[in-house]
């Protein structure tokens, strides 16, 4: 196990009626907020009205900025920075899922920076200060509600890039599982794949003697798998929704990655699909993770076997490890299919004519991943494995 420092300062307020504490939490930081949200679903399901009423009752001035798209783009960030500066905003409230939160983080960093906010992503400049922000979570998936990370798409350059900083960690996260009852099944399923991928990116490490975090990761994955069918079949099953919501946070609040080197190659490979084809991130991960495992399995096959044995109950066949891994990949794909996710590029309507372009973008700064370092040719082969 490697040395580590764990620090997560986000205050999590979880459960029924947790939103009632929203005004009190904001008042610790500001009397005026930018209310940042997505395409309008929170207005249809009543969450918007509830949040606005709470803020107004506390005398908090609201400047609205809606319209965040999935895979939030740089144009939106520039607009948000302009709104904050023109209205002297000193606190951002993101209401939604990963897209709204990632967008809010980018805006929060950009307001405090004299240069182009894209510098933080493409040039990897350190983010030293940002506006404080809070979250009302409505989509469990990205884990951005307690993470330091933000991912943004530059549509002009066809690049989807992430960055992060401790100053971007939200001050609080309001998490009421009832706010997820109206999520469409596809969005729910994509979120489930995303949170599982966050765990798997950390799980697949070459570091040894990380038994504790391995076991916690396996338990988290099995809990997600157990409750996935429940939330798809019974959207208002509060207990199942609560399990999924908390699992999404735990998957990406850094606790499962301590003492080990994470991989993140699959995320890097998938980001190019999202950037070029506007594919839902979770759907892209469902396509790319089986292909990645297939390609890298011989690098540290014992770890892959452990994963499939402990998470998907594949019987251990140490004399025939390839067969065991093959069966595990089948079960992983079957799970994704069972919740309505695609498992190959053909199902997503993506052809092979841009593989080279995507691989070049993916590896523009060098190899990706640590489980196995992947160059441009490796990434092309993984895209090929994902075709059917």
- We report the CATH number of the domain holding residue 32 as 3.40.50.1970
Residue 317 has what pLDDT?
74
CB atoms within 10 A of CB 7: 9
Residue 218 has what pLDDT?
98
The 10s digit of each residue's pLDDT in 278-327 is 999 999 999 999 999 999 999 999 999 999 999 999 998 777 899 999 99
Asked if residue 5 belongs to a domain, the reply is: no
Across 232-257, b (16+ Cβ under 10 Å) vs e yields beebebeebbbbbbbbbbbbbbbbbb
Residue 39 has what pLDDT?
82
Tokens 């939490």 map to which residue? 25
Same domain, residue pair 271 and 377: yes
What pairs with residue 151 in β-bridges? 162
The 10s digit of each residue's pLDDT in 198-248 is 999 999 999 999 999 999 999 999 999 999 999 999 999 999 999 999 999
Low-confidence ranges of the chain (pLDDT < 70): none
- 178 DSSP assignment: G
Asked if residue 3 belongs to a domain, the reply is: no
This prediction's pTM: 0.95
Same domain, residue pair 205 and 166: no
Same domain, residue pair 151 and 220: no
Domain final residue pick, 149, 179, 209: 179
Residue 319 has what pLDDT?
77
- Four-CA torsion 363, 145, 205, 123, nearest 10 degrees: 30
Residue 287 domain boundaries: 185-385
Same domain, residue pair 16 and 48: yes
Same domain, residue pair 290 and 164: no
Q: How many domains in the chain?
A: 2
Asked if residue 271 belongs to a domain, the reply is: yes
Same domain, residue pair 175 and 189: no
Residue 40 has what pLDDT?
80
Domain final residue pick, 179, 211, 227: 179
Same domain, residue pair 355 and 286: yes
Same domain, residue pair 189 and 166: no
Same domain, residue pair 28 and 108: yes
Helix spans in 29-118 (H): 41-44, 47-57, 74-86, 98-111
Asked if residue 204 belongs to a domain, the reply is: yes
Asked if residue 361 belongs to a domain, the reply is: yes
Same domain, residue pair 29 and 113: yes
- In whole angstroms, give the CA distance from residue 41 to residue 352: 34
């Amino acid at each position: 196990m490697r040395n580590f420092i764990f620090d997560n300062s986000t205050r999590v307020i979880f459960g029924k009626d947790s939103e009632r504490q929203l005004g009190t939490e904001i008042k610790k930081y500001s009397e005026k907020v930018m209310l940042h949200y997505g395409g309008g679903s929170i207005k249809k399901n009543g969450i918007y009205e509830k949040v606005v009423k709470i803020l107004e009752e506390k005398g908090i001035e609201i400047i609205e900025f809606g319209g965040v798209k999935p895979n939030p783009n740089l144009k939106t960030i520039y607009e948000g920075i302009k709104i904050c500066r023109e209205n002297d905003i000193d606190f951002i409230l993101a209401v939604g899922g990963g897209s709204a939160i990632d967008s809010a983080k980018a805006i929060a960093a950009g307001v405090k920076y004299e240069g182009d906010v894209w510098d933080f992503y493409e040039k990897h400049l350190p983010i030293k200060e940002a506006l404080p922000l809070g979250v009302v979570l409505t989509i469990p998936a990205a884990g951005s509600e307690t993470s330091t990370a933000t991912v943004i798409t530059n549509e002009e350059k066809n690049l989807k890039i992430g960055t992060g900083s401790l100053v971007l960690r939200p001050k609080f996260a309001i998490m009421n599982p009832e706010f997820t009852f109206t999520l469409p099944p596809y969005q729910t399923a994509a979120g489930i794949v995303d949170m599982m991928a966050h765990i798997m990116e950390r799980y697949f490490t070459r570091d040894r003697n990380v038994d504790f975090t391995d076991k916690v990761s396996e338990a988290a994955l099995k809990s997600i798998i157990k409750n996935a069918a429940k939330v798809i079949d019974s959207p208002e099953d509060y207990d199942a929704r609560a399990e999924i919501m908390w699992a999404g946070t735990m998957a990406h609040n850094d606790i499962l990655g301590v003492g080990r080197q994470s991989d993140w190659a699959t995320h890097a490979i998938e980001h190019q699909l999202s950037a070029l084809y506007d594919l839902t991130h979770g759907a892209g991960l469902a396509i790319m993770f089986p292909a990645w495992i297939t390609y890298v399995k011989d690098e540290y096959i014992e770890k892959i076997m452990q994963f499939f044995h402990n998470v998907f109950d594949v019987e251990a066949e140490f004399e025939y490890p390839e067969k065991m891994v093959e069966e595990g990949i089948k079960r992983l794909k079957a799970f994704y299919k069972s919740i309505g996710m695609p498992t190959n590029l053909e199902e997503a309507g993506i052809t092979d004519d841009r593989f080279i372009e995507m691989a070049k973008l993916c590896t523009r700064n060098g190899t990706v991943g640590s489980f196995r370092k992947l160059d441009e040719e490796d990434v092309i082969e993984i895209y090929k494995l994902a075709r059917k």
